[in-house]
Structure 1
Amino acid sequence: MNTGQMSLRLLVDKWLAPTPAMPVRVTRFGRTSANHKRYVRVEALRSTGLLAILFFRHDDGSWCVFPPSIESGRPAMRVY
């Protein structure tokens, strides 16, 4: 995967389309409790109300709007 296409800045531009009249701001960041992966919450105030999106950092360095899967501790079935 080309991580340049999934940078946090590009995703914020894609999902929130900030402008000088409607800026975005980071309101929370940290690590998830389940697998200690990084996340960032970004908010934008729109005419329809507050829009907030969580972005999650994946192992390949990309940012996505869905959390990375938790490999350990997840029930799994395998056929040998």
Structure 2
Amino acid sequence: MNSNRVSLRSLVDKWLAPTLSMPARVTQIGRVLATHGRYVRLEGCISTGPLTIVFFRHEDGSWCVFPSVPASPSMSGRLFAN
């Protein structure tokens, strides 16, 4: 199990600090076509005004504010060594 996994709830609490008077709400859920990963767009209010953040789910199950990088083809010299 990955001990560095960050839950979506903990990120929402960290970035938006929702309260009963200023809740955070989900405005969009979807998939990123290139990586087939999921994303969630949330809106909330902070002391300076409204804030919208998009969180992306990575392959290890963690959530981040940046999308995962799709795997790209690579070539290794080990395949051709004798």
Q: TM-score range by the shorter chain?
A: 0.7 to 0.9
1:79 and 1:58 map into 2 onto residues whose CA distance is 25
1:36 and 1:59 map into 2 onto residues whose CA distance is 10
Deviates more, 1:42-51 or 1:23-32: 42-51
Q: CA deviation at 1:34?
A: 1.6
Q: Deviations over 1:40-79 (max 9, x none)?
A: 0010134533200000001110101111011136xx7x78
Partner of 1:25: 25
Paired amino acid for 2:33: S
Partner of 1:10: 10
Q: Percent of aligned positions with the same letter in both sequences?
A: 59
Structure showing greater radius of gyration is 2
Residue segments in structure 1 that go unaligned for 5+ positions in a row: none
How many residue pairs align between the two structures? 75
The alignment's TM-score, normalised by the length of structure 2, stands at 0.78
Partner of 2:57: 57
RMSD: 1.9
1:59 and 1:46 map into 2 onto residues whose CA distance is 30
1:35 and 1:79 map into 2 onto residues whose CA distance is 23
Partner of 1:48: 48
